[in-house]
Every structure is written in structure tokens, then in C-alpha cells.
Amino acid sequence: MSQLLEVSGVSVSFDGFKAINNLSFSIGEAEMRAIIGPNGAGKTTFMDIVTGKTKPNAGTVLWGEMSRNLIGMNEAKIARIGVGRKFQRPTVFEDQSVFDNLMMAVKNTRAPWSVLFFKPKFKDIAKVEELASEIGLSDQLKRKSGELSHGQKQWLEIGMLLAQDPRLLLVDEPAAGMTLAEREHTTDILKRTAKTRAVVVVEHDMEFVRRLECKVTVLHEGSVLAEGSLDHVTANPQVIEVYLGR
Ligand SMILES: Nc1ncnc2c1ncn2[C@@H]1O[C@H](COP(=O)(O)OP(=O)(O)OP(=O)(O)O)[C@@H](O)[C@H]1O
């Protein structure tokens, strides 16, 4: 599998405290990866670095075939070259319908001047319908987004991110607050998504991680503590000591 993202020797300090400490690992194209680790391990800071929100003190984050360094690029540029991020709390426009939310996301993929004169065309409507089908909300298109369940709002937001056609989707604790059925549906969406792009999921819920059936990276004190299948990392005595045994 060729690499899409290669994090090398990355360190970040906040007031002298090393939140990320010589972090190195890579993510392949069309790969699903789970990142786990105790509170404060650096999972969120890792996502902040990849998306350009936090600038590291050292290291490189190389992207794509051209090995472009994401460090030094601003957040908007990183989003444009194909990094999408799903935060824990859904941020859909609650007063707008599911259709309108998805259409806005489709529209946002255009150059700013063309948005001014945007009129949905058949192809845009077809795109919205395709996205709705991917996230399982085809029968909810006319509903106001504020009326959706917590899980449905999360799926809508994933759909809005997919409208941007990212090559890497970073997802922060997707299972939080979901019912079992919602978790299963979320797993399906993420697995399907990871067939055509890289998906990195930060999650504390081990049952959810197991269902993703993917390679797992364990972070601890800002570095990789263990990596491999879930069975492999959960049998690691150090992982048990710092994370699972608590
Ligand atoms: N802006 C900041 N200023 C100071 N310290 C910070 C800042 N951001 C993160 N930290 C510290 O860096 C460490 C790593 O935090 P981070 O949020 O990345 O951990 P995490 O693995 O995402 O934890 P959790 O599972 O609780 O979300 C923590 O000790 C945190 O307090």
C-alpha cells in the first residue's frame, strides 16, 4: 500500500510540556486506521497538526505522491488539498433541511466566485442524492436537520465532509453518545468510506474499534507505544499498563 501521510519526528511543546514527542507513523491510501490511547496521549494534538491548527516545533508531515510537507501550510490550504476533519460535536445547520445542508457542502467545493452565481444543476442534485444514500439518509432529505437524532446528525456531517471529496478523513470519537444501532451504521459508513480514501478514527470505545477491523496505533505521551491489529496491541503489557488496565 502506498503511503498518503507520513508523520516523521514530530514534536510539539506547550509551555515546555511535550504533548507530541518525536512522533512517527504513516497512513496508507484507502486505509482505515484507529488511534487509541489514554487521556492526554496527544491524539487531538496529532489531528490539530495534520489539519494545520497547531504548528509543531520539529518534524515533517509529508502528503501524497509529491511528498508535500503539510507543516507550514495554513488550514484552508490543507483542507483544499484533501484533508477533512469531523469534530466530535456535529455542526450541521439545524434550521436547514438535510438536502440543503448537503447542497451547501456540494456548493462549497466550488471556487468562491462561482458560488455567487450558484444554481443547483441536475448533476449537483444527483450528487446530493448520492451522498444521502452513502450516509443512509435518503429518506430524510426533506427533514429539518435539527429534528434528526444525534446519530443522524453525525452521519449528515460525514456526508457534508464527503462532498468535499477528501483523500483523508479524520474522525474524532464518532461513537460517543450513539445507540448500538447507530454505532453499527456509523461503522458501515466509515468502512465504506475507507475503500476509496484514508479514514483515521480516534476512539476510546474498544468495541467500536473492534468493529472497524483495522490496524490500530496506540499513542502514549505523544509517541507511538504500539501498532498492529487490535488483538496484538491489546495483548501488549505496556498498553495494558498505561491504558487498558486502568
Ligand atoms: N493548547 C494547549 N496548551 C497547553 N497544553 C495543551 C494544549 N493542547 C493540548 N495540551 C496538552 O497536551 C497533552 C495532549 O493533549 P491531547 O488533547 O492531544 O490529548 P488526547 O490524547 O486527545 O486526550 P483525550 O483522550 O482526553 O482527548 C495534554 O496533556 C493536554 O493537556
Say whether pLDDT at 120 is over 90.
no
**C-alpha 43 to ligand 1 mean position (Å):** 8
Q: What is the pLDDT of residue 56?
A: 95
CATH numbers and ranges of domains, the chain: 3-244 (3.40.50.300)
> 177 and 190 in contact (C-beta within 8 Å)?
no
Q: What is the pLDDT of residue 140?
A: 97
Average model confidence (pLDDT) across the chain: 92
Confidence of residue 122 (pLDDT cuts 50, 70, 90): confident
Strands 83-86 and 68-69: what pairing?
unpaired
Question: In terms of DSSP H, where are the helices of the chain?
Answer: 43-50, 75-81, 98-107, 112-116, 122-134, 150-162, 180-193, 206-212, 230-234, 237-239
The ligand 1 atom at the shortest distance from the C-alpha of residue 42 is 18
Region 129-152 average pLDDT: 96
Q: What is the pLDDT of residue 114?
A: 55
Q: Of all residues in the chain, what percent carry a pLDDT higher than 90?
A: 85
Strands 83-86 and 168-172: what pairing?
parallel
The pTM assigned to this predicted structure is 0.92
**Grid cell at residue 95:** 434550521
Please write the tens of the pLDDT for every residue from 61-105: 999 999 999 998 999 999 999 999 998 877 899 999 999 999 999
Alpha-carbon span 194 to 106, nearest angstrom? 20
Q: What is the pLDDT of residue 245?
A: 77
Region 185-191 average pLDDT: 96
The pick from 15, 21, 45 for probing ligand 1's pocket by mutation, whose C-beta has the most ligand atoms within 8 angstroms, reads: 45
Say whether pLDDT at 1 is over 80.
no
Which amino acid, residue 99? F
**C-alpha 110 to ligand 1 mean position (Å):** 34
Phi/psi-derived region of residue 198, left when phi > 0, alpha when psi is between -120 and 50, beta in every other case: beta
> 219 and 43 in contact (C-beta within 8 Å)?
yes
Rounded to the nearest 5 degrees, what angle is found at the Cα of 204, between the Cα atoms of 188 and 210?
45
Please write the tens of the pLDDT for every residue from 214-235: 999 999 999 999 999 999 999 9
The residue among 95, 127, 93, 135 whose CA lies nearest residue 109 is: 127
ipTM of this complex prediction, to 2 decimal places:
0.94
Rounded to the nearest 5 degrees, what angle is found at the Cα of 201, between the Cα atoms of 208 and 198?
125
List, as one string, the DSSP characters of 152-192.
HHHHHHHHHHHTT--SEEEEE-TTTT--HHHHHHHHHHHHH
Q: Kindly report the protein residue whose alpha carbon is nearest to atom 19 of ligand 1.
A: 40
Please write the tens of the pLDDT for every residue from 191-210: 999 999 999 999 999 999 99
Region 142-158 average pLDDT: 95
Say whether pLDDT at 60 is over 70.
yes
